[in-house]
Amino acid sequence: MQKTDLLSKKINQSERIRWFKSGAKEGPVLVLFAGVHGNEPAGLKAIDAISEKMNSSTHPFNGTVYAVTGNKQALELGVRYLDTDLNRLWEIFNTSKETPFLNGINTPAEYSESLEIKKVVDAILEAHEESAREFIFADLHTTSSQSCAFILLNDTLENREIARKFPVPQVLGIEENIHGTLLSYINNLGHKALGFEAGAHEDQRSIERSEAFLWLLMHATGLYELGEAETEKLGEKLQAHPNVPKTYYEVRNHKYIEDPDFFEMISGFENFDTVKKGTPLAYEEGLLIRAPVSGRIFMPLYQKEGHDGFMIIREVPEYWLKISGYLRKSFLHKYLRYLPGVSVMNEQSYRVNRTIARFLVKEVFHLLGYRVTEKDEDTLVCHKR
């Protein structure tokens, strides 16, 4: 038996793989994650629905699809997570940082879940590295507020290229505010990765939208060709509210909360609702929190689980994206080190002293494709994506 066949056999015996389907070997490999949050079953239902339909069809299939189950223990209980968020701990695999729970004391249940998922991802990559044209990953989620469907992506040109094939709002650069997501981990391995948010947790339409997204994704990546009428019909299922333009958005503000028990979002906000600076949004430990900037409210937290209270996003003008696409391929990178207040950390990263470089620092680094995180009040760390 060949090495790749042996590997495939190992993968297919893993209980993490819900199902897989393979056709022509040289096609793309698509890896779908669902149920990474245990209270979001819509993605799993959609994944099972497409499997059933594909099994009863003789339509040609080019490549391989794997469906991977997320947080098994949390799914059984119907909770977001048991000990820690499975979609916030992936930084431990990207860095050599000592993890607080590696010594076995206080090891969260999610650590073993993440190890198993990582093993499956490694095995899939190894099994297909020689034959596959490319790897594409997608992670299916739903939200605690009412919402139209949208895509989350780390802002790389490769991710943008695939994401723009879907007629839904696209939110860029979430990785600067939310760390350790599964998709960031995959991006750091060098592969395309999209997050699809289908709508509210318990909304039947969230299942339908997830399913429409999956068919369109298989079509867009060349795995399963659909006719024009069919793609149009599926696209219509994903349509946003008429007052939410299907364009790009970036995060302007992120409200992190220590303890969701002491956080109360004011009721009635839907995802993407416009808010003016100063609008009352929530209470934290009894204190009123107002919108610090104008924009659209994003992922307001209406459950007592999770640490992201809300975000405020704003549309990114199309020309800005075009300029940044051009600049990322340009030679300007090598001049960054000469800017005042900028010092080189390593080949991929710069440190920026904000007391010296005050204006437009984030914008310049964003344009050139860097992820910008705040190290402290005066320091930004900019890392090439």
Which residues contribute to the site for Zn ion (CB under 5 A)? 37, 40, 141
For residue 248, the minimal CB distance to Zn ion (Å) is: 21
**Nearest-angstrom CA–CA distance, 253 and 293:** 7
79 within 8 A of 35, measured Cβ to Cβ: no
Side chain identity, residue 216: L
- The distance of closest approach from Cβ of residue 306 to Zn ion in the complex, given in angstroms and rounded to an integer, is 9
Strand partners, 289: 282
CB 303 to Zn ion: min, Å: 11
- State which residue, 37 or 371, has the beta carbon closest to Zn ion: 37
The 10 Å Cβ neighbour count of residue 383 is 18
Contact assessment for residue 17 and residue 7, using Cβ atoms and an 8 Å cutoff:
no
**Least distance from C-beta 80 to Zn ion, angstroms?**
7
Rounded least distance, CB 363 to Zn ion, Å: 29
Beta carbon nearer to Zn ion, 54 or 82: 82
Least Å from the CB of residue 141 to Zn ion: 3
Residue whose CB is less far from Zn ion, 37 or 209: 37
Nearer to Zn ion, 206 or 231 (CB): 206
- Report how far residue 239's alpha carbon sits from residue 332's, in angstroms, rounded to the nearest whole number: 38
Residue closer to Zn ion (CB basis): 40 or 110: 40
* Of 62 and 181, CB closest to Zn ion: 181
Residues 216/166, Cβ–Cβ less than 8 Å: yes
Helix axes 3-13, 109-128, angle to 10 degrees: 150
Sheet bearing 308-315, strands edge to edge? 17-22, 64-69, 29-34, 135-143, 192-200, 150-153, 170-172, 248-256, 308-315, 295-298, 274-275
Q: How is residue 49 written in tokens?
A: 């629905």
